[in-house]
């Protein structure tokens, strides 16, 4: 590989390790999550990435309703303290957590069609296309792999969705079908991969595309995912 390409690869990896406003991996709340999840002795970077994936996936409650999209509300440390959020919050926290142990990370922003979105979410969204769905890319063993530590196991069980597993080797992205064979998640558009959250692009994009979803300038509508699944037979979940 040419020397210039090697230098460019190194720069890209270094950019994925930095401390940022949103990925504040030096904050106490993030450090405590990392210390509680990562094996102390002899663990490889892949083992650490996997342990942190499950700590965020199952330790942080998935909830789109009432979510705080303010700048402070989207900081990894805030998500860790509050213990809940939706795809953007949880992916930010995971990206920060892996950086805390020296693993480069990026935020991956996409548009998806959720075929199983609840009727209420469809009304708030204005359809079944979820803008700026967020997951994470982590750099392990010389390559980037995608991870989606979003829907916790208990919620997946309630909604009839297979929980996404992650081994640090293969991409972990949403299944196209649920347990009953119904279409679930369809990826429509890739906005890109980012070393930090492009805040204005995401929040303005969500607000413009889904104005009914907001009950304030940076706060989402209230509701209950659990209550919604209890009132319908097919079940669904958001972005």
* Alpha-carbon span 197 to 181, nearest angstrom: 34
pLDDT of residue 148: 96
pLDDT tens per residue across span 136-150: 999 999 999 999 999
Domain locations in the chain as residue ranges: 3-222
pLDDT of residue 5: 42
Looking at the DSSP assignment, which residues form a beta bridge with residue 112?
130, 187
* Alpha-carbon span 92 to 99, nearest angstrom: 11
* Alpha-carbon span 64 to 128, nearest angstrom: 15
Residue 67 structure tokens: 């979510």
Task: Please report, for residues 22, 59, 212, the alpha-carbon distance to residue 216 in angstroms, rounded to integers and kept in the order given.
Answer: 21, 27, 10
Short-list 50, 84, 52, 48, CA closest to 66: 84
pLDDT of residue 55: 98
* Alpha-carbon span 82 to 86, nearest angstrom: 12
DSSP state of 212: G
pLDDT of residue 17: 87
Predicted confidence pLDDT, tens digits, the chain (239 residues) = 444 444 444 454 456 889 999 999 999 999 999 999 998 778 999 999 999 999 999 999 999 999 999 999 999 999 999 999 999 999 999 999 999 999 999 999 999 988 667 788 889 999 989 999 999 999 999 999 999 999 899 888 887 888 899 999 999 997 766 777 777 788 999 999 999 999 999 999 999 999 999 999 999 999 988 777 666 555 455 56
Top-level class of domain 3-222: alpha beta
DSSP state of 8: H
Cβ-Cβ contacts under 8 Å for 158 (sequence gap 6 or more): 226, 229, 235
pLDDT of residue 176: 65
pLDDT of residue 66: 95
| Stated pTM of the model | 0.89
* Alpha-carbon span 189 to 79, nearest angstrom: 26
Contacts of range 209-213, beta carbons closer than 8 Å, 24 or more positions apart? 209/126, 209/131, 210/124, 210/125, 210/126, 210/131, 212/123, 212/124, 212/125, 212/126, 213/124, 213/125
CA torsion 101-38-157-220 (nearest 10°) is -40
CA torsion 200-54-42-26 (nearest 10°) is 30
């Amino acid at each position: 590989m040419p020397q210039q390409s090697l230098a460019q690869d190194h720069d890209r990896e270094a950019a994925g390790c930095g401390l940022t406003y949103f990925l504040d991996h030096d904050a106490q709340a993030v450090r405590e999550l990392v210390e509680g999840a990562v094996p102390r002795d002899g663990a490889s970077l892949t083992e650490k990435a996997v342990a942190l994936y499950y700590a965020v996936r199952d330790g942080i409650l998935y909830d789109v309703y009432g979510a705080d999209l303010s700048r402070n509300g989207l900081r990894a440390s805030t998500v860790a303290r509050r213990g809940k959020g939706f795809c953007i919050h949880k992916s930010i926290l995971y990206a920060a957590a892996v950086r805390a142990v020296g693993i480069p990370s990026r935020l991956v922003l996409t548009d998806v069609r959720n075929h199983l979105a609840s009727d209420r979410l469809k009304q708030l969204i204005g359809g079944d296309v979820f803008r700026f769905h967020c997951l994470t890319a982590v750099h392990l063993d010389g390559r980037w792999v995608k991870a989606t530590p979003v829907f916790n196991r208990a919620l997946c069980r309630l909604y009839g969705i297979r929980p996404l597993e992650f081994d640090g080797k293969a991409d972990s992205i949403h299944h196209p079908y649920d347990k009953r064979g119904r279409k679930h998640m369809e990826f429509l558009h890739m906005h890109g991969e980012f070393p930090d959250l492009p805040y204005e692009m995401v929040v303005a994009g969500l607000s413009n595309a889904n104005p009914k979803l907001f009950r304030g300038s940076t706060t989402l509508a209230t509701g209950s995912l659990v209550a919604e699944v209890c009132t319908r037979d097919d079940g669904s979940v958001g972005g």
